[in-house]
Structure 1
Amino acid sequence: MNIPTVLALPFPAQGHVNPMMTFSQKLVENGCKVIFVNTDFVHKRVVRSMVEQQDHSLDDSSSLLKLVSIPDGLGPDDDRNDQAKLCEAIPSSMPEALEELIEDIIHLKGENNRISFIVADLCMAWALDVGNKFGIKGAVLCPASSTLFTLMYNIPKLINDGIIDSDYELTLTKEKRIRISPSMPEMDTEDFFWLNMGHPLTGKKVLKYLEHCTRNLHLTEWWLCNTTHELEPGTLSFVPKILPIGPLLRSHTKSMGQFWEEDLSCMSWLDQQPHGSVLYVAFGSFTLFDQNQFNELALGLNLTNRPFLWVVREDNKLEYPNEFLGSKGKIVGWAPQQKVLNHPAIACFVTHCGWNSIMEGLSNGIPFLCWPYFADQLHNKTHLCDELKVGLGFDKDKNGLVSRKVFKMKVEQFFNDENIKSRSMGLKEKVMNNIAKGGPSYENLDRIVKCIKE
């Protein structure tokens, strides 16, 4: 029997590569081959972290999951964290590079191994047009919330309704809070993701690129999203075309697609901590603190007098304050997050509110202390705290800092709140039922696999 080959194309950022890799592993488990296409820059990082992990499983070209790469259009010294630069470079060079890759695969493999299907990140949806040229059908996968998906899709409507102007600025005549649809919760317009990306020009360039991506959505019937009905009922009833397939969780013990080597020593450290005692502190792959905020966080962890596991990325250039003891905690450069959150010692997750982190936390019944950094994370925080009621936010002082005292106070507030833990456990059960056999996400995954195999 011929095994169908799927081309998977994530946006080149850790929070996009992870869910696409998990989805790809699910396709492999369901009898597909996957060619996983990263940018050259990301590919090198992923392979390096796997070699450091002594994981050579992908060196075998007969493996059902093969990693390949194409250029992103940026120069060797360009900053890949510069979202504006990246979003300008991608459409000018990557579609052509993807076309060449597909042609090479077809010529190399012949008719027996043609590409059956493309799964593109929502932020790479132009790939559907490339696939179309070869008669290859496809799907988009949104690694963020369905609310973000809906917001992106409705940009023309927001302009039409006079909520934003054609330059993506908020108009002064409109309400501060809006509903995209009567079934959806209110959104604070100041939380629109493109208004929270540092420089205003960055947000505009990113949004212009994303609008270009959403113009290709008509090329597929399959709009997949890492979410569940319980988490976003109003949004999913407003846009029934979005199919929830979440939570996307690795069934593999092997961790693939990481930009940094995971420090597994934290697992044996967690084994030595009392149940429900540890603060897990991790801000994803993008968040940058200045020295003052870093100091306040470190000294805030001191003040709590509780065990903590703190992820301080290897690219961190900041100094620990002299008074920082750190004796009750463990600091790692990168953690096996899904395993960490599944550990009984974890009490709560101090998070930047990235959607992957939220899905992993919810899947383990872990409540959140919410400290968003940029983009959609501000709205995600509101959703966790106000809608789902499984998170508490931090208040910043007049200098925009979360002080050590506020940090300690929020941690104490969390440990004194019995209800937040029980709500989290209740939500865990509902969320996990989705991926159990016969659950909605399980069935939606089954549907897409059947479509690919046809």
Structure 2
Amino acid sequence: MMILSQKLVENGCKVVFLNTEFNHKRMVSCMVEQQDEEDSLIKLVSIPDGLGGDDHRKDLAKVCDVILSTMPHALENLITQENIRFIVADVNMGWSLKVGCRLGIKGALFSPASAAMFALVYNIPRLIHDGIINSDGSLLTTKKTIQLSPGMLEIDTGTLFWLKLLDDGMNIKQILNYLEACARSSDLTELWFCNTTYELEPRVLTFFPKILPIGPLLRNYSNMNASSSTRSMGQLWEEDLSCMSWLDQQPRSSVIYVAFGSHTRFDQNQFNELALGLDLTDRPFLWVVRQDNNMAYPNEFQGNKGKIVQWAPQQKVLNHSAIASFFSHCGWNSTMEGLCNGVPFLCWPYFADQLYNKVYICDELKVGMGLDLGENGVVSRWEIKKKLDQLLSDVNMRTRSLKFKENQLDKGRSSENLNKLVEWIKG
């Protein structure tokens, strides 16, 4: 959303960037001391999310339940105070378009996830109506795959993003009720935008032409390989820029980049196997281990060929010539950044759309491999070593990955769609 805001500013728009108070405080505390002229035209504001200080915001069911009862009124007041003339809403905040309509304000939807996930969220009411899923999210069909539209890419029912949450005992009915409300509000605008490209998701975009790709949305660095001291605006974690000079010292296409996003968590046993698996590869690795990680490194772990940081400037890292592969959780931002830099994936999804993204990377795009669980439900160090060895020795995989960098992700039509959004905002 921040990168999209910067693109809008570059095209002459002024942006009021709205967050919840909780996220706003984190974001402001991580802001760079000096912003460039474009960033100064982005005003950061916030409204309450309705949750108290002691409430656990990782309970998505509770978050969804509270948002609709508290945030619409707060948003209405903010629109009046800030003299807002146009709303660009995250697809999962689609209800905000309804608020805008009451005030006579036009809006657009933006999905930072894939077009396939956009289409899936929009079709949740139909999936319930057609008896494919229950209102609590459980599957009613015995089919292994479903199609949102005839001829469209089939979706493995095992990758439906709410099923893991259902297995974890979360109240999925509240979440689906919330997403249904967002889906109904989607029809209040003809402007649906997504961080994807026609080349990347042709079938989805063919059968859902209302979704207009404006990707890949990437940060605009003047020199991607430089060890710049500039931190990325909007990052909630402080980037350790020392990894760039470390990468400069590594051979070309030699480093395994290991990063699992801001949510993935391992238990101690799985963390041990991951660490020891990286050791076994006997290759240089750059491993992002977040500061909220409470795991202890196993006694046998050497790590002498690697560098461990708490957070990395990922787009710069993936663009570096030393990177050979991306060991990833397959979040959509990571997926786009990996594809745009021609890097093959070793996929280890954690939850949500990552499960679908992994299947798409491996089976449709054929630029990645997955991992197999052992009988104890743990990915072993030997499995990690085996798959990394296979990935790094697969010349065809590397060639296909480089094609996405060189040929596949044409920005031409995405730029045209972004211009449509700018014209609507200014009009």
Q: TM-score range by the shorter chain?
A: over 0.9
Matched with 1:192 is 160
CA contact (8 A) 2:123 2:183 kept: no
189-198 vs 143-152, which moves further: 189-198
Q: CA deviation at 1:176?
A: 1.8
| CA offset digits 1:253-282 (Å, max 9, x no partner) | 651111111111111111111110111101
Structure 1 position 160 matched with structure 2 position 141 = no
Q: CA deviation at 1:200?
A: 4.1
Q: CA deviation at 1:329?
A: 0.8
Matched with 1:27 is 8
Aligned residue for 1:120, secondary structure, equals strand
Matched with 2:97 is 128
Aligned residue for 1:215, secondary structure, equals helix
Structure 1 position 141 matched with structure 2 position 114 = no
Consecutive unaligned residues of structure 2, counting only runs of 5 or more, are 222-229
Matched with 1:39 is 20
The AA in structure 2 aligned to 1:151 is: L
Q: CA deviation at 1:62?
A: 10
The AA in structure 1 aligned to 2:418 is: L
Runs of 4+ in 1 over 6 A off after TM superposition: none
| CA offset digits 1:303-335 (Å, max 9, x no partner) | 001111111111111111111111111111111
1:298-313 residue pairs with structure 2 within 5 A?
298-313=275-290
CA contact (8 A) 1:362 1:431 kept: no
| CA offset digits 1:39-69 (Å, max 9, x no partner) | 111111111122xxx52438x9993111111
1:55-454 residue pairs with structure 2 within 5 A?
55-57=33-35, 63-106=40-83, 115-171=84-140, 173-197=141-165, 199-252=168-221, 254-434=231-411, 439-454=412-427
384-393 vs 223-232, which moves further: 223-232
Q: CA deviation at 1:165?
A: 2.3
Alignment partners' CA distance in 1, 2:137 and 2:59: 20
The 1:200–1:185 alpha-carbon spacing in structure 2 relative to 1, beyond 3 Å, is farther
The AA in structure 2 aligned to 1:338 is: Q
Identity %: 63
Alignment partners' CA distance in 1, 2:275 and 2:424: 50
Aligned residue for 1:309, secondary structure, equals strand
The 1:223–1:62 alpha-carbon spacing in structure 2 relative to 1, beyond 3 Å, is closer
Aligned residue for 1:273, secondary structure, equals coil
TM-score under structure 2 length normalisation: 0.94
1:49-60 residue pairs with structure 2 within 5 A?
49-50=30-31, 54-57=32-35
Matched with 1:11 is none
The 1:32–1:431 alpha-carbon spacing in structure 2 relative to 1, beyond 3 Å, is farther
| CA offset digits 1:81-119 (Å, max 9, x no partner) | 22222222211111111111112223xxxxxxxx22110
Alignment partners' CA distance in 1, 2:137 and 2:25: 35
CA contact (8 A) 1:247 1:431 kept: no
Alignment partners' CA distance in 1, 2:82 and 2:19: 15
Alignment partners' CA distance in 1, 2:399 and 2:290: 32
Aligned residue for 1:310, secondary structure, equals strand
CA contact (8 A) 1:350 1:369 kept: yes
Alignment partners' CA distance in 1, 2:39 and 2:407: 38
Aligned residue for 1:407, secondary structure, equals helix
The AA in structure 2 aligned to 1:419 is: N
CA contact (8 A) 1:139 1:223 kept: yes
Alignment partners' CA distance in 2, 1:218 and 1:389: 35
Alignment partners' CA distance in 2, 1:399 and 1:29: 52
Aligned residue for 1:395, secondary structure, equals coil
Alignment partners' CA distance in 1, 2:106 and 2:38: 25
The AA in structure 2 aligned to 1:452 is: I
| CA offset digits 1:279-308 (Å, max 9, x no partner) | 110101111111111000000011001111
Q: CA deviation at 1:201?
A: 2.8
| CA offset digits 1:221-246 (Å, max 9, x no partner) | 11001111121111111110000111
Equivalent pairs, count: 418
Aligned residue for 1:37, secondary structure, equals strand
CA contact (8 A) 2:326 2:344 kept: yes
Alignment partners' CA distance in 2, 1:62 and 1:135: 28
Alignment partners' CA distance in 2, 1:233 and 1:335: 31
Alignment partners' CA distance in 2, 1:452 and 1:431: 29
Alignment partners' CA distance in 2, 1:203 and 1:312: 30
Q: CA deviation at 1:184?
A: 1.7
Q: CA deviation at 1:80?
A: 2.2
Q: CA RMSD in A?
A: 1.7
Alignment partners' CA distance in 2, 1:69 and 1:232: 34
The AA in structure 1 aligned to 2:35 is: S
75-84 vs 300-309, which moves further: 75-84
CA contact (8 A) 1:230 1:430 kept: no
CA contact (8 A) 1:196 1:203 kept: no
